[in-house]
Amino acid sequence: MGVGVLLRYGQYLPMTDATPRLTLGEGETPLVRSKFLERDLGIKELYFKLEGCNPTGSFKDRGIVVAVAKAKEAGHHTILCASTGNTSAAAAAYGAAAGMHCVVLVPKGNVAMGKMSQAIAYGARIVMIRGNFDRALEVARGLADEYPISLVNSVNQHRIEGQKTAAFEIVDALGDAPDHLYIPVGNAGNITAYWRGFTEYRALGKTEHAPRMMGWEAEGAAPIATGKRVDSPNTIASAIRIGNPASWQSAERARDESGGDIATVSDDEIVEAYRLLARREGIFCEPASAACVAGLMKNVRQGLDLRQSSVVCVLTGNGLKDPDIVYQVTNTPLEEATPDLEAVAKVLNLERAGSAKR
Ligand SMILES: *Cc1c(COP(=O)(O)O)cnc(C)c1O
């Protein structure tokens, strides 16, 4: 337990004897059976892959650990990324663990508080870019071309390699691939990585089939679903607020080769799924993660029959990353009382057991 993806799946990764065996205990995340939605939607088997349980709270750790280890092996001292938040949190953590400098470019004013505080805590050099994520990534790519710095965005193929291990884990846990994989799509590296993982395992005979890849963009940031890039992407789900995905073509290949789909959900649908996951399943994930569950609910409402199907939803990040959103989307008043038993009981409208008889 807790050996990390480089040791656990090293034989499938671009490792050499010189690659440092870096780990913060990433991977081996829980695959939890649904308690409510499975029955409510009439699905044979529904599981949630809890990627928010990774060391920095998102799946980015799986790819970053490989990218940072390879950067270290190449003799670089500095890693660089553009980020909507989770990549920078992961890069900052693994950079610190590897004894490297980390520079992150974030879209000014558009990064969730939890993610920003991680990058600061881990000691990254943070530059706020007065522009959106897509612009920040263009700048980062240019810098990495001209200076001796390793770019650890998912354009770095080591990221995709590391992230494919989540697909391996799902097959290893279920004994086979699920029939459908539901996954949020932003820069589209993760859907690319899962498809690579499932097809590699299929080629090795570890699973007979590969799942249909069901990717979900937010309506206001849906370049792949609509077929054209979005200049000012907008959604409550900041981790998928991306208008020109770096892995656009490989995401389309994953969709087409798997017989899947990449479609959209509205922010209202995302929020509905986000609240339901917390309140009916006991799972607190990011809004971006909830997008794939919103997509599943939408597909079933529109008539997709999953009564004979196994489904895995990839819950990409931890809800604590973006605490402000909870207050934005729920209007539960916080109640107060003086510190005595009677006062609190009164606020709660409690009645003593048997009090009616007395
Ligand atoms: C990065 C991220 C995504 C999007 O993944 P891509 O590989 O960019 O498509 C979704 N959810 C969370 C929480 C993320 O951090």
pLDDT tens by residue, 325-345: 998 898 888 899 999 999 999
3-class secondary structure per residue, 236-304: CCHHHCCCCCCCHHHHHHHHHHHCCEEEEECHHHHHHHHHHHHHHHCCCECHHHHHHHHHHHHHHHCCC
pLDDT at residue 333 in the model: 84
Q: Measure 303 CA to ligand 1 centroid, in angstroms.
A: 27
Q: What sign for the dihedral angle of Cα 167, 172, 173, 179?
A: positive
Residue nearest to atom 15 of ligand 1 (CA): 86
Q: Measure 29 CA to ligand 1 centroid, in angstroms.
A: 16
Q: Render pLDDT for 67-78 as a digit per residue (tens, 0 to 9).
A: 999 999 999 999
Q: How far is CA 307 from CA 223, 262, 264, 304, in A?
A: 31, 22, 23, 9
Yes or no: say if 8 and 68 are a contact pair by the CB < 8 Å rule.
Answer: no
Percent helix, strand, coil in the chain (nearest 5)? Answer: 45, 15, 40
Q: Measure 338 CA to ligand 1 centroid, in angstroms.
A: 44
Q: Measure 342 CA to ligand 1 centroid, in angstroms.
A: 48
pTM, entire model: 0.95
Point out the ligand 1 atom lying closest to the alpha carbon of residue 186. Answer: 9
Q: Render pLDDT for 132-185 as a digit per residue (tens, 0 to 9).
A: 888 999 999 999 999 999 999 989 999 999 999 999 999 999 999 999 999 999
Q: Render pLDDT for 20-56 as a digit per residue (tens, 0 to 9).
A: 999 999 999 999 999 999 999 999 999 999 999 999 9
Mutate to test the pocket of ligand 1, among 187, 195, 289 (most ligand atoms within 8 A of CB): 187
Q: Render pLDDT for 247-268 as a digit per residue (tens, 0 to 9).
A: 999 999 999 999 999 999 999 9
Largest CA distance in the chain: 83
Task: Determine the angle formed by the axes of helices 86-98 and 60-73, rounding to 10 degrees.
Answer: 40
Please count the residues of the chain.
358
Pocket of ligand 1 from Cβ distances under 6 Å: 58, 60, 86, 154, 184-190, 239-240, 286, 288-289, 316-317
Average pLDDT, the chain: 95
- CA nearest to 321, candidates 216, 219, 217, 237: 237
Q: What sign for the dihedral angle of Cα 107, 108, 109, 111?
A: positive
Place of tokens 């990324």: 81
